[in-house]
Amino acid sequence: MSTVLITGAATGIGNHTARALSQAGHTVWASMRDPRGQDAEHRRELLDFAARHGGALRVVELDVTSQESADAAVAAVLRNGGDLDVVVHNAGHLYVGYTEAFTAEDVARLLDINVVGAHRVNRAALPHLRGRGAGTLLYVGSTILVTTPPFLGPYAASKAAFDTLAVATSYEVNPFAIETCIVMPGALTKGTRHFPDATRATDPAVSAAYAPLGPMVARNEEATSALFDPAADPGPAGVADEIARILSLPHGAKPFRSVVDYTEAGVEKVNEAARATREAFVRRLGFGELLAPRRPAVRTSR
C-alpha cells in the first residue's frame, strides 16, 4: 500500500478520495488550506471517519498558492510518515460567467490556483520521488478541455493548461520510474461545493452587456442534468472509486488517462485520437523513450 498526499481534500472529490483510499489500506494525508480555521469542520469529519472506520488518515495544511506551504506539507508527510508514494492533484476552483466579464487579474488568479498550484506541489514532492526512483502523480483533470461548454471559459482554459502541464511533466519524470495518470471527470452536479463556491464574473458592466444570454445561463445546470442517464449518480464517489482502482494497479498497468463521465460525451474517442497523434509526433522527434515510465529499480536489502 502507498502513502498518498491529496490536495484539496476538504470537500468534494478530494474528500471522497481520502475516505476511499484510507479504506483501501493506503496511508492518506488529506490536505486542506486552513484545517484549524475555516476548514476545521471538514478536518474533524475526516478524522472522525477514520476513527469510526479504521485506516490511516491524517490531515495536513497545504495552500497550493504558496510554495512555502507546499514544501512544508511534503516535509510534514516525510517527517511523520517516512515516505511518499503518490500525489493526487485535486485542488481547484471554479469560475462561472461571461469570459469577458472576468478581469485579467481574475483569470491570472484562477490559473495560479488551478495550474501553478499543481506545479508548486510537484516542485515540493518530485525531489523525493526522483530520489526514491518510483512514484505516481495522479491529476484530477476534466472532460471540459474537450467538451468546452459555454459560460465556463476561464475554468476550461485553466483545466486545459493543467492537463498540458501534466503531460509535459510526464515526459520528464518517466525516466525516474514516476507514473502519471490523468483522471477526467465529467460534469458533477451534486456532492461537491464546486458550483456553490464558484466565483462569478467581477465586471458588472460587461456582464450587463451580455444580458440577452441570461436565459441560457439560468438553465445551464438544468441543461447539464438533462444529459445524465436517470440511473446515474453524478457525484464525486465514482471518481474517488476510480482513483482507488487505479492506485491498486501495479507499476506499468495504470492508465495514462481515465474518464468518469456521466454525460457520456464521447471524450474517450478524442483522447485516443490525440494520444496517437501526440505519441507519433514524439517518436518522430526521436524521444519515444519518454512516453512510458521506466521500471523501478529493484531494491536490495543488506
Enzyme catalytic residues: 155
- Calpha distance 301→295 (Å, rounded): 18
- Calpha distance 213→220 (Å, rounded): 11
Neighbours of 266 (CB within 10 A): 13
Joined grid coordinates for residue 35 = 484545517
- 162 neighbors 185 (Cβ within 8 angstroms): no
For residue 146, how many C-alpha atoms fall within 13 Å in the half-sphere facing its CB?
21
- Calpha distance 135→147 (Å, rounded): 31
DSSP 8-state class, residue 187: -
Helix or strand holding residue 13 (H, E): helix 12-23
